[in-house]
Amino acid sequence: MTRQNEAARRGEGEDAAGQEPTAVLPETAAQLVEVEQLQQQLGQAEERARNHWDQYLRAVAELENLRKRVQRDVESAGRTGMERFAQEILPVMDSLALAVANAERSDAASLAEGQQATLRLMQKAFENLGVREIDPGGEPFDPARHEAVMVQESPTAEPDSVLQVVQPGYELGNRLLRPARVIVSKAPGA
């Protein structure tokens, strides 16, 4: 095939007047339309990307603000809890200070009465704070809430039950602050 034939087949070459054709072939027009559509889609995709980037930046800022707010709330709750604790314990402190100040002028009976009043104040403060005493006398031994300081034979008590409470334990809500220290029973000869 000659060069002219090949050029003619592709739509190239000169026309009868000797000028190159200026008509756009249908394939080229379709490609232009496709390019136009792709440019529109690219513009839309870029707009969506900008919107997503803006949303991302807002979300990051909001998350940072939330983190700071939660940190402030936690610090405030800690201060409030400590303030509440201090307010509950202050009357106990006052009672103990009064007892020490009057110790030289008081007799044994009034000192004992003052100690009992101070103990009642402390128990009331614990109650107001939600601190509960664990006194498991006679209950089955529970290693999660009790600390065995000794095991002792007992003909009357159930084996592995608490015979005596050496030191009471304490809970705050459902959280163990200190286990009760106890003497645990065992069967005779075991």
Condensed to tens digits (0 to 9), the pLDDT of residues 131-168 reads 999 999 889 999 999 999 999 998 888 899 999 999 99
Kind and range of the H or E element at 147?
Answer: strand 146-153
Residue 67 CA to residue 138 CA, distance in Å, equals: 49
Q: Which two tokens stand for residue 190?
A: 């075991």
Asked whether residue 87 falls in the same domain as residue 139, the answer is: no
Q: Are residues 37 and 107 in the same domain?
A: yes
pTM over 0.95: no
> If you average pLDDT over every residue of the chain, what do you get?
85
| CATH number of the CATH domain containing 76 | 3.90.20
Question: From CA 85, how far away is CA 129, in angstroms rounded?
Answer: 7
> What pLDDT shows up at residue 140?
94
Per mean pLDDT, which range of 28-32, 86-90, 179-183 is the poorest? 28-32
Say yes or no: 118 and 37 in one domain.
yes
Q: State whether 112 and 102 are in the same domain.
A: yes
The answer to whether residue 175 is domain-embedded is yes
Percent above pLDDT 70 for the chain:
86
114 and 137 in a single domain? The answer is no
Q: What is the pLDDT at residue 37?
A: 93
Domain contains 1: no
The answer to whether residues 40 and 107 belong to one domain is yes
Average of per-residue pLDDT across 41-62: 96
